């Protein structure tokens, strides 16, 4: 089974702090994704990566950056956390590009910015 793990289940940070969210997948997948999930809005794509050191903006990249130094690890960075970034963050991976490739999700990190 594909396993996607996220470094923290719950995180509390203060406004202005730099926040790192880590994601690791163990299936040698090419693609990795970061979403945020808010009630009534579903999942919205922040950034994705289709290869090591490659990244692409999703629908809501403002205020975020990402890093993919190794194939199995994809980090989401909040350079200066703000209260409107309080949300559930979900990481996903898929084997390769293509419409039929299933995305596998981690358990999520619930971030509270005070």
Partner 1 sequence: GESVGLHLPTLSVQEGDNSIINCAYSNSASDYFIWYKQESGKGPQFIIDIRSNMDKRQGQRVTVLLNKTVKHLSLQIAATQPGDSAVYFCAESDSWGKLQFGAGTQVVVTP
Residues 6+ apart with CB under 8 A from 98: none
**DSSP string of 13-79?**
E-TT--EEEEEEESS--SEEEEEEEETTTEEEEEEEESSTT--EE-S--TT-EEEEEETTEEEEEES
CB nearer to partner 1: give 58 or 63: 58
The distance of closest approach from Cβ of residue 80 to partner 1 in the complex, given in angstroms and rounded to an integer, is 27
| Closest separation in Å from C-beta 84 to partner 1 | 19
CB of 68 to partner 1, least distance (A): 16
Using the minimum distance from each CB to partner 1, give the nearer residue, 69 or 96.
96
* Shorter beta-carbon distance to partner 1: residue 17 or 86: 86
């Amino acid at each position: 089974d594909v396993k996607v793990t996220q470094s923290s289940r719950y995180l509390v940070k203060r406004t202005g702090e730099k926040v790192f969210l880590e994601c690791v997948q163990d299936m040698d997948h090419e693609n990795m994704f970061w979403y945020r999930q808010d009630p009534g809005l579903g999942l919205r794509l922040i950034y994705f990566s289709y290869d090591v050191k490659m990244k692409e903006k999703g629908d809501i990249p403002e205020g975020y950056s990402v890093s993919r130094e190794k194939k199995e690890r994809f980090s989401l960075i909040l350079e200066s956390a703000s209260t409107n970034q309080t949300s559930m963050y979900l990481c996903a991976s898929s084997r390769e590009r293509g419409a039929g490739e299933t995305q596998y999700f981690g358990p999520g990190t619930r971030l509270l910015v005070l």
